[in-house]
Amino acid sequence: MKKYIVAIVGATGLVGREFIKVLEQRNFPMASVHLFASDRSAGKKLFVGHREVEVKETSHSSFNHIDIALFSAGSETSRYFSPIAAQKGTVVIDNSAAFRMEPKVPLVVPEVNPQDIKEHQGIIANPNCSTIQMVVALYPLHKVNPIKRIVVTTYQSVSGTGAAAMEELTTQTKLVLEGQSVVPHVYPHQIAFNLLPEIDVFLDNGYTKEEWKMAEETQKIMHAPDIAISATCVRVPVFIGHSESINVEFTRPMTPEEARRILVYAPGVKVLDDPSVSLYPQPWSVAGSDDVFVGRIRADASRPNGLVMWVVADNLRKGAAVNAVQIAEEAIRRGWL
Ligand code: A2P
């Protein structure tokens, strides 16, 4: 089997480190791996398996002879370096928002639209973490009974913001418990013991960019521009794992039993749904897993064709690194690299 030369850009970050773990855990066919970050990390060493690999500053020459580059170093870095890499023949799988809505860039969740990978011109976008887990749970239902409308509220962990935000939650929690005052750095307000209904910037229409991304990306991935979507995204003081309360309206009625039956066999989905023993997905218990967990499936008492459900996934794994590596695996398997 052919082995590939892989680069990770943003290797020192939360998702970057997860890329390293996921590539190893999934036994990805790698000839070698090259780690890149900013100049601040140049010379640092990270373990890849039992071997230490030196981190280099990302530069134009980083992509000579690289087959696949996994990017998670922010939109600005992606916007600058991804086209350079693609021009050198590297296939970029980009975790930032930089190219997601560009018509010529496939935006892929392998359980939903693997066929879109074929259209890539060197860059494939990995969707937003909250979008990924929502479409993995909803697409199997949509195929049976087309969705007309989605109203979703997210409860997103601080790891979605990055390493600095995880540190901020730890520090603030200690300070609050010690009765000391808190000065926020990463978020506009204290995140410890608090909730912030603000993720990414506010748009003129009153939504945040994160909320808008969930709507646009879902329509693009599911090839369903007519689904009406309204999202409210909330940052919560949880370290890992995004949770979503999803209210979905179908074309025809769908019972909770039918939805459960479909989801039990859906790829990448695990149903955890038994209210009699308080069984439902929680961020604490799904952290470290690669599946999307669904529970609290019930009829929407306010709409005849509606269902309500609770969907939780590890945002660093299925919401980022696992999905990106699955895209690479799918591209290899189908001969579309
Ligand atoms: P560095 O550690 O050198 O700053 P997180 O989202 O967890 O904060 O991680 C962000 C990742 O993006 C880190 O690996 C960070 O590297 C990397 N990064 C940030 N800015 C750049 C840049 N200009 N070029 C390359 N990598 C960058």
pLDDT of 257 > 90? The answer is yes
Which of 38, 46, 56, 79, when mutated, tests ligand 1's pocket best, judged by the most ligand atoms within 8 Å of its CB? 38
The CATH number of residue 248's host domain is: 3.30.360.10
Residues 101 and 176 in one domain: no
Nearest CA to ligand 1 atom 2: 12
DSSP structural state of residue 306: E
Mean pLDDT of the 130-152 span: 98
223 catalytically annotated: no
Residues 230 and 152 in one domain: yes
- Strands 147-156 and 30-37, by their bridges, are unpaired
Give per-residue pLDDT as tens, 27-49.
999 999 999 999 999 999 999 99
Residues 188 and 296 in one domain: yes
Tell me, in angstroms, the distance from the centre of ligand 1 to residue 124's CA.
Answer: 20
Residues 255 and 277 in one domain: yes
Per the document, the length of the chain is 337
Cα atoms in the Cβ-side hemisphere of radius 13 Å centred on 54: 5
Task: Tell me if 13 CB under 6 Å of ligand 1.
Answer: yes
Residues 141 and 84 in one domain: no
242 catalytically annotated: yes
Task: Tell me if 12 CB under 6 Å of ligand 1.
Answer: yes
The one catalytic residue among 120, 129, 142, 233:
129
Residues 135 and 209 in one domain: yes
Q: What one-character-per-residue DSSP string does 21-37 give?
A: HHHHHTT--EEEEEEEE
Other Cβ atoms less than 10 A from the Cβ of 191: the count is: 23
Give per-residue pLDDT as tens, 163-218.
999 999 999 999 999 999 999 999 999 999 999 999 999 999 999 999 999 999 99
Task: Tell me if 41 CB under 6 Å of ligand 1.
Answer: yes
Cα–Cα distance measured from residue 223 to residue 210, given in angstroms and rounded to the nearest whole number? 20
Residues 59 and 138 in one domain: no
Mean pLDDT of the 220-247 span: 98
Sign of CA dihedral 293, 324, 112, 202: positive
Task: Tell me if 128 CB under 6 Å of ligand 1.
Answer: no
Residues 165 and 47 in one domain: no
For 14, 15, 107, 120, the CA distances from 162, given in Å and listed in that order, are 6, 8, 22, 28
Atom of ligand 1 nearest to the CA of 12: 14
The one catalytic residue among 34, 120, 142, 242:
242
Atom of ligand 1 nearest to the CA of 15: 7
Place of tokens 């409210």: 232
Cα–Cα nearest to 239, from 300, 163, 185: 163
Residues 226 and 273 in one domain: yes
Residues 177 and 238 in one domain: yes
Residues 107 and 180 in one domain: no
Cα–Cα nearest to 115, from 332, 337, 331: 331
The CATH number of residue 99's host domain is: 3.40.50.720
Q: What are 270's strand-pairing partners?
A: 293
Q: Across the chain, how many H-helices and E-strands are there?
A: 8, 13
Q: Is the pTM of this model over 0.95?
A: yes
Domain ranges, residue 116 = 4-127+320-333
Q: What one-character-per-residue DSSP string does 207-236 give?
A: SBHHHHHHHHHHHHHTT-TT-EEEEEEEE-
pLDDT above 90 coverage of the chain, percent: 100
User: Which strand (E) or helix (H) includes residue 86?
Assistant: helix 75-87
Give per-residue pLDDT as tens, 51-62.
999 999 999 999
pLDDT for the residue 113: 98
Task: Tell me if 192 CB under 6 Å of ligand 1.
Answer: no
Q: Domain tally for the chain?
A: 2
Tell me, in angstroms, the distance from the centre of ligand 1 to residue 10's CA.
Answer: 5
Give per-residue pLDDT as tens, 266-287.
999 999 999 999 999 999 999 9
Task: Tell me if 191 CB under 6 Å of ligand 1.
Answer: no
DSSP structural state of residue 197: -
Tell me, in angstroms, the distance from the centre of ligand 1 to residue 312's CA.
Answer: 27
Q: What are 46's strand-pairing partners?
A: 53
Tell me, in angstroms, the distance from the centre of ligand 1 to residue 1's CA.
Answer: 33
Residues 247 and 297 in one domain: yes
